[in-house]
Amino acid sequence: MTLRLVFLLLCLAWWLPPAAAQAPAPDGRQRVALVVGIGTVGGRAVLPSATRDAPALAAALGAAGYEVLLRENPSTAELRGAFQQLRDKLRPDGLGLVYLTGPMAQVDGRNLIVPADIALNDSADAAAVAALLRVVGVPVQEALQALAGSVDAPRVLVLDGAWRIAPLGRLTPPGLTRQRTPDGMVVMMGHLPAALQDPLPAEPAPADARDPKARAATRLAKAMADALTLSGVTVAEALRAVRLEVLDASGGRSQPVISGSLVARVDFARKAPAAAAVVAAAPA
């Protein structure tokens, strides 16, 4: 089932009177996205899909009118610096989006990101891993703080981090917990709370792949890239379509979860001039 068919079904399911169902008029509001992909931790490759998904999503967002900050395998300091840069760039009424793919885990009811400069011991037991993450893990809450704005400013956080990666998979409960969502913000998790998925094999993108969807590795990244090509679709409608596309493509094995709500009806994508689609990459 294609994403466009999914969206058509959504429109039929949530049919409104013609006056209320009109798509929002194109607007010139600012759109800023931070895309973070962490595939290597402590010098060890742990999530090959992140090396494909992050640049593919950055390209799709750039083509959809976003100013994009791309960070691949950031250290703790670089990750926090990226959050600060997003906070500085994002205007109070702007559309802000953060896409995080990489190793994450929940400890003491908090979702934590594992930056690239953290050394994980594959043989460590759950207690040792939890103790380490309490000290060096970067709370997902910091991404939400970077997105903070007025209630009527659309803000989106996408978390694709519930992967079965040693030694994180030994933690109990596993995966991520449902992220607390402030008013006026939406959080999409790639998998159900307390659930893990196996990392995809390390396969390079097809050599002839030109569009971002073909260059992405995971179902979630492909569906997100596809949604960014749709016109006249609001942020909330696009995320619901992404969720249904992943459910359908995985046969129900992958079940993204959406929490929170948006007040403003704003287009998810806005075609931009070529100059505005340039991806800002982190310095080496």
DSSP-assigned letters across all residues of 35-71: EEE--EETTEE--HHHHHHHHHHHHHHHHTT-EEEEE
pTM of the model: 0.89
Low-confidence ranges of the chain (pLDDT < 50): 5, 8-9, 11-26, 274-278, 282-284
Q: Are residues 93 and 32 in contact, defined by beta-carbon separation less than 8 angstroms?
A: no
| pLDDT for position 22 | 43
| pLDDT for position 29 | 87
Find how far residue 253's CA is from the centre of its chain.
Answer: 19
Q: How far apart are CA 65 and CA 273, in angstroms?
A: 8
pLDDT digits (tens, 9 = 90+) for 67-78: 999 999 999 999
| pLDDT for position 174 | 96
Token reading at 107 = 């400890």
| pLDDT for position 184 | 87
Q: How many CB atoms lie within 10 A of CB 204?
A: 11
β-pairing, 110-113 vs 138-139, is antiparallel
| pLDDT for position 2 | 62
